[in-house]
């Protein structure tokens, strides 16, 4: 796990205005401190750069983990999580299916 500098952590949290970027809960309304999350986890070659970091509440960060997608309950289709910094992609996540 790459060290994320205090300055970079502060920048991520400030850009999000202290809101979780996934569920939008404000840090003042959360039971635990917000964290800095790799949107694309390091194990999937995600970089420790501002464009790949998000302010996340404890619950969202633990729920997402290092996953890139999940199976949608309604369609049973493997579905990519939205990337906070990229336009949404549509269609099946074929690159995750092997
Ligand atoms: Zn959240």
Q: Give φ, ψ of 19 to 5 degrees.
A: -105, 145
pLDDT exceeds 70 at position 95: no
Task: Compute, in angstroms, the gap from residue 23 CA to the centroid of ligand 1.
Answer: 4
> Is residue 1 in some structural domain?
no
CB neighbourhood size of 54 (10 A) = 25
Q: For residue 15, is it within any domain?
A: yes
pLDDT score of 92 more than 60: no
- How many whole angstroms separate alpha carbon 80 and alpha carbon 67? 9
The whole-angstrom separation of Cα 17 and Cα 24 is 10
Residue 17 belongs to some domain of the structure: yes
What is the structure's pLDDT at 72?
A: 86
Distance, CA 56 to ligand 1 centroid (Å)? 5
Domain ranges, residue 65: 6-96
Residues with CB under 5 A from ligand 1 (ion): 20, 22-23, 57, 60
Task: Evaluate whether residue 22 is within a structural domain.
Answer: yes
15-30 pLDDT tens trace? 999 999 999 999 999 9
Q: Distance, CA 34 to ligand 1 centroid (Å)? A: 8
Q: What is the pLDDT of residues 38-89, one digit of tens each?
A: 999 999 999 999 999 999 999 999 999 999 988 988 999 998 887 777 766 5
Number of domains in the chain: 1
């Amino acid at each position: 796990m790459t060290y994320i500098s205090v300055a970079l952590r502060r920048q991520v949290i400030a850009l999000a205005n202290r809101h979780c970027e996934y569920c939008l809960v404000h840090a003042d309304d959360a039971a635990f401190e917000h964290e800095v999350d790799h949107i694309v986890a390091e194990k999937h070659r995600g970089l420790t750069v501002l464009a790949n970091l998000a302010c996340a509440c404890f619950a969202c960060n633990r729920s997402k983990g290092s996953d890139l997608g999940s199976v949608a309950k309604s369609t049973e289709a493997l579905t990519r999580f939205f990337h906070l910094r990229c336009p949404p992609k549509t269609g099946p996540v074929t690159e995750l299916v092997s």
